[in-house]
Chain A
């Protein structure tokens, strides 16, 4: 008897090959993005010097390290933290999007679209103008987190019925939450002094500029925590796709998973928004692309989204910094420019599938 592999086996190994191809491409794009983004800018630095400076910084003396201390300081004080921040924020937003889509059972759920980002932004803005202890790094992150929790809870309570969220309800709830958080932000602007206003306006547009290591550390801790938890829940998110009742029949504690996940989304979104403002649509575009390439299984979806989000933002930030000579585009503007039309396309598709909305 010849051992012909069953079609399923063939299919599975095909998928595995595809997954490793996609992951490899993402890793290469990530490393390239990090190097190019560190090297490019008003002060051009050779890629070898970037590698050398990185090696030296982590304690490996090498010949590539830049002899000029200005270059070394520029890399470690300005570019490296910024690149690190872009990786973390991208990963956090992409995973937050994938988790929201899992708990809402709807591929259009995204922190920016449904207002979680605005909620977190409101919290962070309050921290910025309040001065005192709250204005610190931890204070900003905590208030962003609280704002995110509030907004997610609101959307969750308002938009869900029978374990699913209709597209229309979700988007309308998003409009309401965004409007409310927008009003809150406007009030904070109104109440703040000139310096605060300037800071908030730029931060609100979304920017990775001026990231500092102590901010990066806070974002890193929250992102790692959020990503690790979400990966631990990956199999359960798969079950959730069957609907809450059936997921329950399979032994899942649906309500508990949902509540923990809401906190998770708020942690990730809060981490992303606290220091870099609203960078919308990352959580929509990245998981969607990964799902098209690798299918909806959450273990792969979440892991690949970590990479995909990081890749997207490191390249988007590079573009934002270098596209216009001598100026910097807000990265939030850039992601919305790509994400807006993409969202429109998804919406049309969802609508066609459902045969229109009443």
Chain B
């Protein structure tokens, strides 16, 4: 079966800087792949290449087996949804209107009739139903992030890419959001997520890609990849893997002396 997203030897250069170096990664349907790594390691850049926003300087990318440019913009929008880090809306649209914008690729299609159901479900999944009539511009950072995620869910695509969806979120909503991502994967969606919290990645991802200076330093299941020695090299700080006392996924913490 064709992977939803496939990158082969992708390199991105801007001027003399190499943002992504020879990265190869597949994200299959039904799989949740986390991209982790230090700041500036190229996670977001790789994500934007996978999304088809940016053409790689070398290598190739396919979405459902075809180059992003070979899909028309609308067909592409029906195949993959993207959550960027920039959750801004220029005018005071209401939350419902913002989430409804996620339906726009389906306008005029047979699925058009599902709009109300898709919107209501997305609002509920992201725990923002109570905000429906608020204006987006009046929301807090975390609320904006969840509403933006609801917009992505409302798009109902078989593949999604999420760039740091948990960045502005409190403890509970971080878990909720990854729970949503997990359920998407369980229902056959291909999910790529950029994460900073390695414990979250360990708990929810099927596979983790660790990025280091633009390259994929390691790719595999959490158990294979979360190696203290590797993480120490990549992050430049000692790391401890702590077993969860209740039997959950391992917890990754920096080696602190206090």
Chain B 68-110 against A: per-residue CB contact (8 Å), 1 yes, 0 no? Answer: 0000011111101110101011111110111001101101000
Which of A7, A11, A164, A246 is B82 in contact with, Cβ under 8 Å? A246
Are the C-beta atoms of B104 and A235 separated by less than 8 Å?
yes
Measured CB to CB, the closest approach of chain A to B237, in angstroms, equals: 32
Are the C-beta atoms of B89 and A242 separated by less than 8 Å?
yes
Residues of A within 8 A of B107 (CB): 235
Residues of A within 8 A of B78 (CB): 251
Are the C-beta atoms of B97 and A238 separated by less than 8 Å?
yes
User: In the complex, what distance in Å separates the CA atom of A170 from the CA atom of B53?
Assistant: 26
Residues of B within 8 A of A8 (CB): 96, 132-133
Q: Given A241-B90, A243-B86, A295-B92, answer yes or no on A249-B104 (Cβ-Cβ < 8 Å).
A: no
Are the C-beta atoms of A297 and B93 separated by less than 8 Å?
yes
Measured CB to CB, the closest approach of chain B to A26, in angstroms, equals: 21
Are the C-beta atoms of B93 and A238 separated by less than 8 Å?
yes
User: In the complex, what distance in Å separates the CA atom of A166 from the CA atom of B81?
Assistant: 27
Measured CB to CB, the closest approach of chain B to A169, in angstroms, equals: 15
Q: Given A8-B133, A243-B86, A245-B84, answer yes or no on A253-B73 (Cβ-Cβ < 8 Å).
A: yes
Task: Report the number of A-B residue pairs with Cβ-Cβ less than 8 Å.
Answer: 77
| Highest count of chain A CB atoms <10 Å: which of B51, B73, B84 | B73
Q: Which residue of B lies closest to A298 (CB)?
A: B91
Which of A105, A251, A295 is B90 in contact with, Cβ under 8 Å? A105
Asked whether A258 is an interface residue with its Cβ less than 8 Å from the other chain, the reply is no
Asked whether A41 is an interface residue with its Cβ less than 8 Å from the other chain, the reply is no
User: In the complex, what distance in Å separates the CA atom of A239 from the CA atom of B103?
Assistant: 11
Residues of B within 8 A of A243 (CB): 84, 86, 88, 90
Measured CB to CB, the closest approach of chain B to A186, in angstroms, equals: 36
Known: A239-B104, A251-B76, A296-B93; 8 extra A-B contacts, CB below 8 A, are: A8-B133, A239-B101, A241-B93, A242-B90, A242-B98, A242-B151, A249-B80, A251-B75
Asked whether A248 is an interface residue with its Cβ less than 8 Å from the other chain, the reply is yes
Q: Given A242-B101, A246-B82, answer yes or no on A252-B73 (Cβ-Cβ < 8 Å).
A: yes
14 contacts between A and B (CB under 8 A): A8-B96, A239-B101, A241-B93, A242-B88, A242-B89, A242-B90, A245-B53, A245-B84, A249-B84, A250-B101, A251-B77, A251-B104, A295-B97, A296-B93
Are the C-beta atoms of A297 and B82 separated by less than 8 Å?
no
Residues of A within 8 A of B73 (CB): 248, 251-253
Which of B77, B90, B97 is A250 in contact with, Cβ under 8 Å? B77
Q: Which residue of B lies closest to A301 (CB)?
A: B91
Chain B interface residue count, Cβ-Cβ cutoff 8 angstroms = 32
Measured CB to CB, the closest approach of chain B to A299, in angstroms, equals: 11
Residues of A within 8 A of B102 (CB): 250
User: In the complex, what distance in Å separates the CA atom of A297 from the CA atom of B104?
Assistant: 14
Residues of A within 8 A of B74 (CB): 251
Which of B51, B75, B90, B98 is A164 in contact with, Cβ under 8 Å? B90
User: In the complex, what distance in Å separates the CA atom of A248 from the CA atom of B48?
Assistant: 12
Measured CB to CB, the closest approach of chain A to B169, in angstroms, equals: 19
Measured CB to CB, the closest approach of chain A to B147, in angstroms, equals: 11
Residues of B within 8 A of A303 (CB): none
| Highest count of chain B CB atoms <10 Å: which of A105, A238, A249, A295 | A249
Q: Which residue of B lies closest to A241 (CB)?
A: B90
Asked whether A107 is an interface residue with its Cβ less than 8 Å from the other chain, the reply is yes
Q: Given A8-B132, A242-B101, answer yes or no on A249-B91 (Cβ-Cβ < 8 Å).
A: no
Measured CB to CB, the closest approach of chain B to A350, in angstroms, equals: 12
Measured CB to CB, the closest approach of chain B to A93, in angstroms, equals: 19
Q: Given A8-B133, A249-B81, A250-B155, answer yes or no on A296-B96 (Cβ-Cβ < 8 Å).
A: no
Q: Which residue of B lies closest to A256 (CB)?
A: B73
Residues of A within 8 A of B89 (CB): 241-242
Measured CB to CB, the closest approach of chain B to A283, in angstroms, equals: 15
Asked whether A106 is an interface residue with its Cβ less than 8 Å from the other chain, the reply is yes
Asked whether A291 is an interface residue with its Cβ less than 8 Å from the other chain, the reply is yes
Measured CB to CB, the closest approach of chain B to A88, in angstroms, equals: 26
Residues of B within 8 A of A106 (CB): 90
User: In the complex, what distance in Å separates the CA atom of A238 from the CA atom of B90?
Assistant: 9
Residues of B within 8 A of A249 (CB): 51, 53, 77, 80-82, 84
Are the C-beta atoms of A295 and B88 separated by less than 8 Å?
no
Residues of B within 8 A of A251 (CB): 73-78, 104-105
Those of A128-164 within 8 Å (CB) of chain B: 164
User: In the complex, what distance in Å separates the CA atom of A106 from the CA atom of B91?
Assistant: 8
User: In the complex, what distance in Å separates the CA atom of A27 from the CA atom of B142?
Assistant: 42
User: In the complex, what distance in Å separates the CA atom of A235 from the CA atom of B74?
Assistant: 14
Those of A233-278 within 8 Å (CB) of chain B: 235, 238-243, 245-246, 248-253
User: In the complex, what distance in Å separates the CA atom of A250 from the CA atom of B151?
Assistant: 10
Q: Given A238-B97, A250-B102, A295-B94, answer yes or no on A245-B133 (Cβ-Cβ < 8 Å).
A: no
